[in-house]
């Protein structure tokens, strides 16, 4: 499998998903996945399953340590970049949360490691 690892270093207040989209364009990532994250994020929105209400989207105003990350980055047919980033978080006031990240800002230093995968070389 032909792969390349890219480390994104985000600054305080930088939009996380926008940074992933920009890096995907810069490094020509048509398909990739999230490997690791080190640091914190703040003011995020998560989509997750709430047992009594089903699938919900909730905004959290807290600073969270990223304890786990998974998911993929895919370039769509229309050229748009679609990052699906699942995170497990530990908040300073709100405790642990997990779900699909649909919005959030870097808090202090945040590093996200991506792995670019060349699907054309896998298929051959």
Per residue in 52-99, pLDDT tens?
999 999 999 999 999 999 999 999 999 999 999 999 999 988 889 999
Query: Which domain, by its residues, includes 93?
Result: 3-117
pTM above 0.85, yes or no: yes
Residue 47 inside a domain? The answer is yes
Residue 99 inside a domain? The answer is yes
**What's the rounded Cα separation, in Å, for the pair 116 and 124?**
17
Residue 76 inside a domain? The answer is yes
Number of domains in the chain: 1
Question: Is the confidence at residue 120, as pLDDT, over 80?
Answer: no
Higher pLDDT among residues 59 and 123, named by residue: 59
Q: Residue 112 maps to which CATH number? A: 3.30.1330.80
What is the percent of the chain where pLDDT is above 70?
94
Question: What confidence tier does 123 reach under pLDDT thresholds 50, 70, 90?
Answer: low
Residue 122 inside a domain? The answer is no
Residue 123 inside a domain? The answer is no
Q: Which residue has the tokens 């590093």?
A: 111
């Amino acid at each position: 499998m032909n792969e390349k690892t890219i480390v994104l270093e985000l600054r305080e207040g930088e939009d996380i998903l926008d940074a992933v989209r920009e890096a995907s364009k810069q490094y020509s990532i048509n398909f990739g996945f999230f490997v690791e994250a080190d640091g914190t994020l703040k003011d995020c929105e998560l989509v997750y399953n709430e047992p009594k209400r089903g699938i919900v989207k909730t905004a959290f105003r807290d600073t969270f340590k990223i304890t786990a990350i998974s998911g993929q980055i895919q370039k769509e047919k229309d050229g748009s970049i679609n990052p699906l980033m699942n995170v497990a978080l530990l908040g300073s006031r709100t405790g642990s949360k997990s779900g699909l990240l649909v919005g959030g800002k870097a808090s202090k230093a945040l590093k996200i490691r991506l792995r670019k995968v060349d699907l054309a070389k896998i298929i051959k």
